[in-house]
Homo-oligomer: A and B are copies of this chain.
Amino acid sequence: MSGRLSVVGIGPGGPDQLTGEARDAIAGARQFFGYAPYLDRLELEAGQVRHGSDNHQELARASAALDMAAEGHDVAMISGGDPGVFAMAAAVCEAIENGPPHWRALDVVIVPGITAMLAVAARVGAPLGHDFCALSLSDNLKPWTIIEKRLEACAGAGLVLALYNPVSKARPWQLGRAFEILRRVLAPETLVIFGRAVGRPEERIRIAPLREADASLADMATCVIIGSTETRLIDRPGRPPLVYSPRSSPRPSK
């Protein structure tokens, strides 16, 4: 029972988005699990073994990694962004809860990373500068009715929204429907940011008012941030605009 499982966040893109702690965890591990495109981003040495897997295999991947750690190996589970935000840390916990009792004795370390919404926000200014929420638009693991209710509740309460998993081949209509719901609650000029693959060569940032926000601007690698009524855009001659949510909310007039 001397093995260890590190669940490591490598951030949204380039190698300079890893923390020192994540680098050390990767250097110290010998067996690497994860969605294959995330493993492709690592520069592994001889003796470091890849076990890449497809998307939608989170529980099986977690179980295989725990099994190998239980055999005494130093195992890393590689997660894009932060492992705790719509990523592998919850799947590992779920596998431990439902797995053999000896998995509970394993040394499990979770190493945080820069999650997509933070990277997208940094590229455009500070749209998450005040109260916000992070919602997954995937209805693979929860009913769509819950997602609609959360969109309405959070937008209605004045939070900025960061939407993860906005679209996929199997979920083509959900983001468009989310924009429809939000147009009922938010003003047409509310700012929407489409941030794709920040830090990677294919990075693309688009800013649009909600009335023009089109689901075709997003793909699987996109995080969509929808401002609140307070979120503002600063035009800058010769530079991209800044988008930010002020730290203060106006006091209600008496």
Contacts and interface: CB of A to CB of B under 8 A. Distances in A.
A246 B122 contact: no
A143 interface: yes
A171 interface: no
Interface stretch (A27-35, A36-44, A134-142, A213-221): A134-142
A126 B16 contact: no
A127 B119 CA distance: 21
A159 to B, nearest CB: 6
A237 interface: yes
Contact of A112 (B89, B119, B141): B119
A197 interface: no
Nearest to A121: B84
A63 interface: no
A247 B85 contact: no
Nearest to A107: B239
B130 A136 contact: yes
Interface in A50-86: 58, 82-86
B96 A234 contact: yes
A113 B128 CA distance: 13
Contact of A134 (B113, B133, B237): B133
A85 to B, nearest CB: 6
Given A112-B122, A244-B90, A246-B90, A133 B131 contact: yes
A153 interface: yes
Contacts of A159: 133, 150, 154
Contacts of A110: 121-123, 125-126
A93 interface: yes
A149 B157 contact: yes
Interface in A90-130: 90-94, 96-97, 104-105, 107-108, 110-115, 118-119, 121-123, 125-130
Contact of A248 (B15, B82, B142, B154): B142
Contact of A132 (B113, B133, B149): B133
A107 B246 CA distance: 20
A58 B247 contact: yes
18 contacts: A16-B20, A17-B20, A18-B20, A19-B114, A84-B122, A84-B128, A84-B129, A90-B246, A97-B234, A104-B237, A108-B242, A113-B114, A114-B114, A128-B134, A131-B135, A133-B133, A133-B159, A146-B249
